[in-house]
Copies of this chain bind each other. A is one copy, B any other.
Amino acid sequence: MADYPLADVTIVDLTRVLAGPYCTMLLADLGARVIKVERPGRGDDARHIGPFLNGHSAYFASVNRGKESIDLDFESENDRLLLDRLLDRADVLVENFKGGTLARLGYGWPVLHERWPRLVYAAISGFGHTGPYAERPAYDMIVQAMGGIMSITGPEQDDPSQTDSRAPTRVGTSVGDLTAGLFGAIGILSALHDRERTGEGRKVDVSMLDCQVAILENALARYFATGTAPGPLGARHPSITPFGAFAAADGHLVIAAGNDQLFVRLCEVLGSPALAADARFATNGARTEHESELKGALQARLAGATVAVWLDRLASVGVPCGPINDVAAVVHDPQVRARSMVLPLDDPELPGLHVAGNPVKMSGLPEPGFRRRAPRLGEHRVGLVAETNPDA
């Protein structure tokens, strides 16, 4: 593992379900050794969440690839001693219990920092370890709702004041969990960087709700600039036009003419150079103001050919465009394949299961043709007991 940038990092991983396991998966992909600590008997809740293949959770297998597993009972003195021995050797401890849980188990930050001053401790929770909601439970769905992203995702409303009549739309993946895992990894790596200078670990406290606010992007700016809360816009961008999904003869495609020059080229490809000369469409601001008229004019032309034809013509002149791929198309896309972004697991009990690759490509970083499988519950206990035995 000498070429993995995190080859010298050992992580004791108490996380369950998604946000925490995704965080440690990212670090494992970059070479960290991740020792996953699970409850005896049942293990991580995600082992019991579908889809299942041959009795194994494909969901669990995906986000826990390449980790080791040890089952530990926090009520057992012997097992707590074993946890302490693991922490003696660890650089990082990660957990995603509800706020306050780990402290009640006797491993609060003051205790951890006194006993293991170099240890970095990362806590990922629904609402963080401070503030009025600190001990409330959360799941992805809760923070997607409370953090605002659901209010700006979904079909465009004819009457934006009727917000309660529409069916709410969630982002189709658990961005509440995934972004917390990503920010958690950034916090851990920053604390490890700092430790090189100071010799001391830090506590990292990441809240899923905070992370949703951190990805509101220009919705926040729009609210403060206009005083009005933005609503969902279907597939179009709020302040760049034309930038969204359009219907062609046989389906939809996306076109992103992000500046005036690209808009002129788009109009030429569509055989409507006059559109580019129209004062209503002369600048991005004007185009955004007249978005629905422009969309009508563009779609009148786009209806004359298929998605595949338009993608060819647009790409040939450098107008950013693309198909709207379903997951089957994604996994067969030649670029996705060329970048090793969908790879098999080397798990004989889960034949055919592929998982996402590591998107952090790096010079010198090995790019394996498969991903190492997730551990069975407690699979590495015997080895870890022997490895940490002080009499050995």
> Are B145 and A172 neighbours in the complex by a CB distance under 8 Å?
no
- Tell me the number of copies of this protein: 2
- Interface presence of A348 (CB below 8 A): no
Smallest CB separation, A361 vs chain B (Å): 4
Q: Mark A131-144, 1 if CB is under 8 A from B, else 0.
A: 11100111111111
Bound CA span A167–B217, Å: 23
Enumerate chain B residues within 8 angstroms of A185, measured Cβ to Cβ. Answer: 186
> Are A59 and B239 neighbours in the complex by a CB distance under 8 Å?
yes
- Interface presence of A296 (CB below 8 A): no
Smallest CB separation, A239 vs chain B (Å): 4
Bound CA span A189–B148, Å: 29
- Interface presence of A96 (CB below 8 A): no
Smallest CB separation, A155 vs chain B (Å): 6
Enumerate chain B residues within 8 angstroms of A220, measured Cβ to Cβ. Answer: 62, 327, 331, 342, 354-356
Most chain B beta-carbon neighbours within 10 Å: one of A126, A325, A342: A325
Bound CA span A180–B287, Å: 28
> Are B147 and A330 neighbours in the complex by a CB distance under 8 Å?
yes
- Interface presence of A309 (CB below 8 A): no
> Are A142 and B221 neighbours in the complex by a CB distance under 8 Å?
no
Q: How large is the interface on A (under 10, 10 to 19, 20 to 34, 35 or more residues)?
A: 35 or more
Residue of B nearest to A334 (CB): B132
> Are B171 and A359 neighbours in the complex by a CB distance under 8 Å?
no
> Are B327 and A252 neighbours in the complex by a CB distance under 8 Å?
no
B130, B183, B359, B363: the one contacting A211 at CB < 8 Å is B359
Binds B, one of A66-74, A77-85, A194-202, A381-389: A194-202
Enumerate chain B residues within 8 angstroms of A192, measured Cβ to Cβ. Answer: 193
Bound CA span A62–B221, Å: 7
Q: Mark A208-231, 1 if CB is under 8 A from B, else 0.
A: 011101111111111111100111
**Which residues from 104 to 163 on chain A have a C-beta closer than 8 Å to any C-beta of chain B?**
109, 113, 126-128, 130-133, 136-155, 163
Enumerate chain B residues within 8 angstroms of A155, measured Cβ to Cβ. Answer: 154-155, 167, 169
- Between A and B, 7 residue pairs with Cβ closer than 8 Å are A52-B225, A59-B218, A143-B322, A146-B330, A174-B218, A179-B179, A213-B342
